[in-house]
Amino acid sequence: MRAPPWKIKVVEPIELRDREHRRRALAEAGYNTFLLRSEDVFVDLLTDSGTSALSQEQRAAMELGDEAYAGSRSFFRLEAAVHDVYGWRHVIPTHQGRGAEHLLSQVLVRPGLLVPSNLYFTTSREHVVLAGGTWVDVAVPEASDPESTAPFKGDIDLAALERVLTVAEPEGVAFVRQEACLNMAGGQPFSLDNLRAVRALTREHGVPFVLDATRISENAVFVKDREPGHAGRPLPEIIREIADQVDGAVFSSKKDHFVPIGGFVAVNDDELAERLKELVVVYEGFPHYGGIAGHDMEALAQGIRESADEAMVRHEVEQAAYLGGLLLDAGVPIVVPVGAHAVFLDAKRFLPHVPQAEFPAQALAAALYLEGGVRSMERGIVSGQHGDEPYDGLELVRLTIPRRVYTQEHLTYVAETVIAVHELREGLSGLRMTYEPAHLRFFQARFEPLTPMLEGSATTWRAAGRA
């Protein structure tokens, strides 16, 4: 792995609490890693969202934040960064990605309309459903196969999309959504060829095409590395070409743009922009700040420019590849190819003896915390099942790498922890859900283990010298 294109200037101490402390903390958190206190976590790979390190340029820019309610200089700097890097005409800031998804769904979705997309993202789907729409999965089948080594598992199945567009024609479809570095499939990119073909289909059927551009920069790196004909191109040019294919985009800027808070919706159409601006004042704030502060917009504007810096983006992707490589070498089942921002453990193969109804990925995430103080996130039946419909889809644990935060030694430690749990896997049982929230249940659901978690192995741990 190449050395990072940054060095550390400010540090935050972290501490590995002892096993008994971790056991208590996990029980108090209802075996849900979201409910742990961060001070009880050693290496925090819950999410890459809002957890990146700011650059010195971002921190300096924050000093220039113009906190005017309306007409803020910081908004115009943000707008200029979006124009320069992506080219979309109108920018409406929001407090984070789901704020942008909310506005877009309120404007475009009406009861009965369809939203075809490559797989789903939790908040994206929830906003469409709350607006009365129906989510339709048109991902390529490889997206749901953790063992498929297809290079572009974020592609849309063009025949499936065409069927939906033909049957619904065009007033039945709110918009077509394609997500960059498809999170739920393991951070898997789409190809530029596929994006262009979706553009052509949506144009032919007169339906808006919206990108979830949250991880557009990493997607552009994969296009450069994997898609014939792009190897020699500068990254900013590929990013711009991706942006040029769509009518608009939503962003959670907490990922690629390295900011702790913020997002936006960007569109080219004047009338759509007006409708979004009419609503942003209801839900987020004046269109010149949309729920974030002037200094947040400064950090975001600078972060957008940094997100087109190939060395910066490539390092993130290489960190995931490094961690994935250690796990593959040790025979741990993970989603391949390793994606953009995370390594995803395949809990169905990791814990084949735990039925999906007993939440194997949730149990595995809890065990990783117990074993090594490593926090990860369930991305299986708890996140994926919506209402009472049957779910037999992917059952993954996401080890997400915050940008510019952890060193190679941290990642090696994480791999050792995962490998230790893999060695103990036969003793791990599933969970029972004791509390199920009405919306996005994975955030706050509570569980109990069906048998005491990893209890009998204390001697093995001590023999292996693990705390």
Ligand X SMILES: Cc1ncc(COP(=O)(O)O)c(C=O)c1O
Q: Which residues are catalytic?
A: 69, 121-122, 212, 255, 379, 442
Classify 44 as helix, strand or coil: strand
Q: By CB under 6 A, how many residues form the interface with ligand X?
A: 14
In angstroms, give the least distance from the CB of 178 to ligand X: 11
Backbone angles phi, psi at 69, to 5 degrees: -65, -40
Q: Which of 19, 77, 90, 98 binds ligand X (CB under 6 A)?
A: 98
Nearer to ligand X among residue 46 and residue 192 (C-beta)? 46
Concatenating the DSSP letter of every residue in 77-109 gives: HHHHHHHHHT--SEEEEESSHHHHHHHHHHHH-
CB of 378 to ligand X, least distance (A): 14
Residue 289 near residue 73, CB atoms below 8 Å: no
Q: In 10 A of CB 32, how many CB atoms?
A: 24
Q: Is 254 in the site for ligand X (CB under 6 A)?
A: yes
| Shortest spacing between CB 241 and ligand X, in angstroms | 20
Residue 96 binds ligand X (CB under 6 A): yes
Q: DSSP labels for 366-418? A: HHHHHHHSEE-EEESHHHH--TTS---S--EEEEE--TTT--HHHHHHHHHHH
User: By CB under 6 A, is residue 217 in contact with ligand X?
Assistant: no
Q: Is 178 in the site for ligand X (CB under 6 A)?
A: no
Is residue 124 involved in binding ligand X (CB under 6 A)? yes
Comparing CB distances to ligand X, the nearer of 55 and 123 is 123
Among 32, 33, 49, 188, binds ligand X (CB under 6 A): 49
Q: What mask of x and - would describe binding to ligand X in positions 426 to 445, judged by CB under 6 A?
A: --------------------
457 counts as binding ligand X under rule CB under 6 A: no
Q: Which lies closer to ligand X via its Cβ, residue 97 or residue 294?
A: 97
Residue type, 181: C
Burial class for 436, CB neighbours closer than 10 Å (0-12, 13-18, 19+): exposed
Q: Which of 32, 51, 52, 123 binds ligand X (CB under 6 A)?
A: 123
- Cα–Cα distance measured from residue 102 to residue 108, given in angstroms and rounded to the nearest whole number: 10
Q: Which residue, 100 or 351, has its beta carbon nearer to ligand X? A: 100
Smallest distance, ligand X to C-beta of residue 16, A: 27
State how far the Cα of 26 lies from the Cα of 327, in Å rounded to an integer. Answer: 24
Query: What is the four-CA torsion angle of 359, 31, 375, 451, rounded to 10 degrees?
Result: -70
Q: Residue 142 or residue 179: which is nearer to ligand X going by CB?
A: 179
> Closest approach of Cβ 99 to ligand X, in Å?
7
Q: How far apart are CA 119 and CA 137, in angstroms?
A: 5
Q: Is 400 a binder of ligand X (CB under 6 A)?
A: no
Among 52, 118, 214, 307, binds ligand X (CB under 6 A): 214
Residue 212 touches ligand X, criterion: CB under 6 A: yes
Token digits of residue 243: 């942006």
Cα(119)–Cα(383) distance, rounded to whole angstroms? Answer: 13
**Chain positions contacting ligand X, by CB under 6 A:** 49, 96-98, 121, 123-124, 179, 183, 212, 214, 252, 254, 263
